[in-house]
Every structure is written in C-alpha cells, then in structure tokens.
Structure 1
Amino acid sequence: MDYRKLFGDIRLRPGLYGLDGSYHDYCTFLHGVDFGNDRQLLTGFRESLVVRAGAGDNLTWDSLVLHLAFPDRTEGWRDEAAGAGRQTVNDLLFSLLDEFLEKRSERGGTAAIFDEYLTWLKAQPWHHR
C-alpha cells in the first residue's frame, strides 16, 4: 500500500474516511494505521521529530508536531490546534509525515533516521555516555 498517497488523500478529503479534519482525529487515525501495521509504519517518526525540534525526547510524536507548529508556546498546544492554529498544525503534520515516509523509503533510510537521533542524543549534556 502507498501510505504517502493514502495520507495525501486523507488530508484533502478527510470526510471520505470518516474524519472531521481535526488534528486529534488525524492523530487517532494515524495511530490506528500504525497499530494495524504492527507499529512498524511510523517507526522512527518520533525520533526524526526530536532531532528536528532539538528537544522533546520525552514527548510522543503527536506532541512533538504540536511543539514544532507552535514553538513560541510553552503550553496550550492542543487548544491552539483545535482553534486558530488548526490549519497550521494539520499542514505541518502531513508535511512532516510525507517527508518522513519519503526518507524511510530510501535505501538505509530507517538506519539514517536512528543514526541522526542517536547522534543528537549522545550530544545532550544529560545523556550518560
């Protein structure tokens, strides 16, 4: 299955998939698709977002997308995603997801994602070597 195409279709026509177009609904759907693929489809997504954000190793991928969408906020991400920032976070989610799936499809893509993450992790002052 071409998940990049599927996710692009979902982004354009969420109602056809029973979704309301909210960030929460998209995340719930993506978690379901990931579980349906033995949690292998999004392997490395969280790690790629941690590297991009330069922080958030304690966050889930859906929280990291919110952090990236609203970097100036320290709280209230979910409120922003449900309100005026809905379009911003949804566009970012699908852009990041497409970029991730493209990178993963490349030869050695998953290994490269985890290599970048481990390099970032080892550079953190709180990480014990």
Structure 2
Amino acid sequence: MLTGFQEWLVVRLGKGHDLTWPILVRHLTPGGWTYPLSAQTDVVAVTTLYQLIGEFFTAREQPDGLAQIFRNYQSWATTQDWYHRPNRWFPISRFSSAWWTGVRRFSL
C-alpha cells in the first residue's frame, strides 16, 4: 500500500535515502525535525503525515504513477555523490557467481 512512499518522500525532501518514512515525514513537517515532540508538534507532524499520504496517493494513482515515482527517485539518486562511489565494504568480487550460489543455497 505504501510502496514507493519512502522514495517519494526522499525526492520531495532532497535527502534522506537512508532514513525511514516516519523520520522523513518528521523532517518535512513545518518547523523541521524536533525532538522530543511536544503535544503541539505531534499534532503538526500527524497533520503533515496525512497531507503527504494524500499527495502520495494522488501521484501514485496517476497512469504509470508508481513507475514515475521510482524513475524520479532514480534520477535524484544519480545526482548524489554516494551513488557513483564504489562501495568499499562490498567489493564486486564478493558477488561472484560462486559466492552468490553459496548464499542462495543457505537462504533457501
């Protein structure tokens, strides 16, 4: 039901690919991130959540809407420095077919 919501929020915020959607909503709340939430900021955050979900569903219900959300996310991601850097923690050689076959065997 919320497939694509996190990606849609990231594009809207312009950052936060590594954050969950509840955190992204808090960043998009008027006044930005506040911690801890007061009763007033909690109401504002919940109101923002409902507004964002409504806008997301409107975008998603468009013809090819979900695909467009992911295309927008991909376009945004390719503009980020981290997207083009090789991952030093998982070198490509670790994903050789022999290694991957072993992983698949254990995960079945």
Given the two structures, how large is their TM-score scaled by the length of structure 2? 0.71
Instruction: Say yes or no: does 1:52 pair with 2:8.
Output: no
TM-fit CA distance, 1:43: 0.4
Instruction: Say yes or no: does 1:102 pair with 2:58.
Output: yes
Which of 68, 72, 94 is the matching residue for 2:28? 68
Q: Which runs of 5+ in 2 are unaligned?
A: 86-108
Residue by residue, what CA displacement relative to the aligned partner does 1:12-41 show, whole Å, maximum 9, x if unpaired?
Answer: xxxxxxxxxxxxxxxxxxxxxxxxxxxxx1
TM-fit CA distance, 1:55: 0.7
Q: Which runs of 5+ in 1 are unaligned?
A: 1-40
Distance in 1 separating the partners of 2:23 and 2:10 = 10
Instruction: Say yes or no: does 1:128 pair with 2:80.
Output: no
Residue by residue, what CA displacement relative to the aligned partner does 1:30-79 show, whole Å, maximum 9, x if unpaired?
Answer: xxxxxxxxxxx1000000000111111111111100111142x4x62xx2
Distance in 2 separating the partners of 1:127 and 1:53 = 17
Q: Which SS does the other structure have where 2:23 is aligned?
A: helix
TM-fit CA distance, 1:84: 2.3
TM-fit CA distance, 1:86: 1.6
Distance in 2 separating the partners of 1:126 and 1:58 = 11
2:92 is aligned to none
Distance in 2 separating the partners of 1:123 and 1:43 = 23
Runs of 4+ in structure 1 over 2 Å off:
none
2:19 is matched by which residue type in structure 1?
Answer: L
Distance in 1 separating the partners of 2:75 and 2:81 = 12
TM-fit CA distance, 1:105: 0.9
1:119 is aligned to 75
Distance in 1 separating the partners of 2:55 and 2:40 = 25
Residue identity over aligned pairs, in percent, reads: 39
